[in-house]
A and B are shown apart, each in its own frame.
Chain A
Amino acid sequence: MGETLSMALRATDTAGPRFEALYRSCAEDVFAYVFSLLRDRSAAEDVTAAAFERAFRKRRSFNALRGSERAWLFGIARNAALDELRRRRRSAGLVTDPEDPAWALATAEDQDAERRATVRQALAGLDARDRELIALKFHAGLGNAEIASVIGVSPTNAGTRIHRALTRLREACHATS
């Protein structure tokens, strides 16, 4: 009881600095993940900022027993991104940017442009669920259990889904090349 209380107090005292550290280590990954879901830079920026703000406001509700901080943060980002997708469905006016100019420019300068273009095409051809799993696995670097926590399924189910997504990505890459 006393130990739990002192842990909670310590967590309260260090919540601010810990959040900044989490932000510094995850900001790019969260943005990449949100962008993968929305495929719209402007919307991804808004949602990323909103996700971090939401996480900041709820930082004291984080419970280490329910998963890692990264999984918790990506869960918040996922909800924010899906809420944005729902808003879009309702308004049905905004069309996503098909291609990000800066992104295209960056990849064009790459030496392995052709191979990456193939991967980019394969990624674009994946459905949203597979794209999400690839982003969580490859960009965010989350473990299978963390991904399971983010998308709300069991670790076994998450492993199976990740494997399927990986298989589809590979097939898409081969088909494109």
Chain B
Amino acid sequence: MRRPDTTLDPLVAEELERLDAALAGSADADPGLEALVRDVRAEAPEMTPAFRGALDDRVRAGFPRARRFAWRPSRTLLVPALGAAATLLIAVAVIGLAGGGGGPGGSGGTGKASSSAGTVSGAAPGAASAAPPVTRESAVPQKSAPVAPPLPLTGGASGRQVERAAQLTLTSAPADVQDVADGVIRTAGALGGYVETSQISSSDQGGGASLRLRVPSARLDDAIARLSELAHVGSLTRASTDITAPVVSATSRLGDARAERDALLRALGKATTDREIASLRERLRLNRSQIAALEGELAGLRRRANMATVDVTVEGTGPKAGAGTGGAWTPKDALHDALRVLEVAAGVTLVACAVLVPLALLAALGALAARGLRRRRRDAALDAA
């Protein structure tokens, strides 16, 4: 560390002033110093004419350099170029990570579809014995993405009874929640279904709607496709439950009950005593109740197989309807996009700074240390000379 400046000793300052006067050739200069200056200057080594001439030529020519390489970037170009390359790399990495994260709310952003499928066991309502297989599929598709293919478990030709259900989350602008909910209701009606329950709330901050639809199972895929057109699809889950066993069981028990009724009616026709007739009538009454209950159970099971359940949730937290959902691109959208670009640029710059500033500090420290070391070595060389 350099010591702080102190004032020059007055005697030393005076002596230096005398020396400066002698060097300047002042009339009142010290004669002794004048003689010393003259003698020392006379001892000054001079260039030889040949060397002077050669150096003059080189200066006039601008010190031409033999070109060893076609292009040799200077440090002043290389450092910014390397910095720009590093920033670009970081920007690409950040954008790549941001894209992979699939953050919500990006206007016109392409949400990455992720899906998982599996089979879980669960007790179906009314199941008598074996637990029916339940197949589940989840997906977060883009609005315009094709709807997932139908599930493998179907009724009809195979004779199996399958209950189908889906949960769909739609994201819309807060102001569009009501419109989207209306669209959901219209879609259910258009497909021959109905709204089982609905709850709609709207506010400036967000709002939302929750609807349970029943649509014909055969038109479930069509329903999901149409509902997906209404707003951005936040998530989609589909499930299938095989209810063949409960249906078969209920049908069998109903058949037994009807056969028992026939037998009771036949017995009633042959009954002769009042007591016997009263007993048979009581059994017939119980049998009718049993048949009615079994018919109700069977009808419920068939309704579950014929009408799929679609739970639709509309969240009013998404972007405006016009932004990236096919509406006209307005100056407001342009402003939104511009702000988004600035946000991303600021983020990239921040990350780049977080990487480059410490590197620059380290480089500056290294340069300072190298400079100090070089200076010390040069001084050592002078001391040793």
Interface residues of A (CB under 8 A from B): 16, 19-20, 23, 27-28, 31-32, 35-38, 41, 44-45, 48-49, 52-53, 56-57, 79, 82-83, 85-86, 89, 100, 102-103, 106-107, 110, 112, 115-116, 119-120, 123, 127-129, 132, 134, 137-139, 141, 143-144, 152-157, 159-160, 162-163, 166, 169-170, 173
Contacts and interface: CB of A to CB of B under 8 A. Distances in A.
B63 interface: yes
Interface stretch (B8-16, B253-261, B274-282): B8-16
A171 B59 CA distance: 41
Contact of A32 (B45, B58, B378): B45
Contact of A170 (B36, B45, B55, B377): B36
A27 B54 CA distance: 12
Contacts of A53: 58, 63
B7 interface: yes
A120 B62 CA distance: 36
Which 6 A-B pairs rank lowest in CB-CB distance, beginning with the nearest?
Answer: A82-B378, A85-B381, A128-B385, A35-B45, A119-B39, A86-B381
Helix, strand, loop or mixed for chain B's interface?
Answer: helix
B378 A119 contact: no
Given A53-B63, A56-B62, A152-B375, 18 more contacts: A23-B59, A32-B45, A36-B45, A52-B59, A82-B378, A85-B382, A85-B384, A100-B45, A106-B46, A123-B40, A123-B43, A129-B383, A137-B23, A139-B44, A160-B9, A166-B15, A166-B19, A169-B40
Contacts of B120: none
B270 interface: no
A100 B39 CA distance: 17
Contacts, number: 133
A156 B55 contact: no
A41 B42 contact: no
Interface string B368-382: 000000010111011
B52 interface: yes
Given A79-B378, A173-B36, A156 B45 contact: no
Given A16-B62, A28-B46, A44-B45, A160 B385 contact: no
Task: Indicate the size class of the contact surface on chain B.
Answer: 35 or more
Given A45-B47, A154-B2, A89 B36 contact: no
A112 B38 CA distance: 11
Contacts of A160: 8-9, 12
A48 to B, nearest CB: 7
Contact of A137 (B12, B19, B377): B19
Contacts of B203: none
Contacts of B378: 79, 82-83, 85-86
Contacts of A106: 46
Contacts of B15: 163, 166
Helix, strand, loop or mixed for chain A's interface?
Answer: helix
Nearest to A163: B12
Contacts of A120: 43
Contact of A129 (B2, B46, B382): B382
A57 B20 CA distance: 33
Nearest to A138: B40
Nearest to B38: A112
A107 B42 contact: yes
A128 B382 CA distance: 6
Contacts of A129: 382-383
Nearest to A153: B2
Nearest to A86: B381
A134 B19 CA distance: 11
Contacts of B60: 20
A137 B20 CA distance: 9
B43 A107 contact: yes
B37 interface: yes
B5 interface: yes
A160 to B, nearest CB: 6
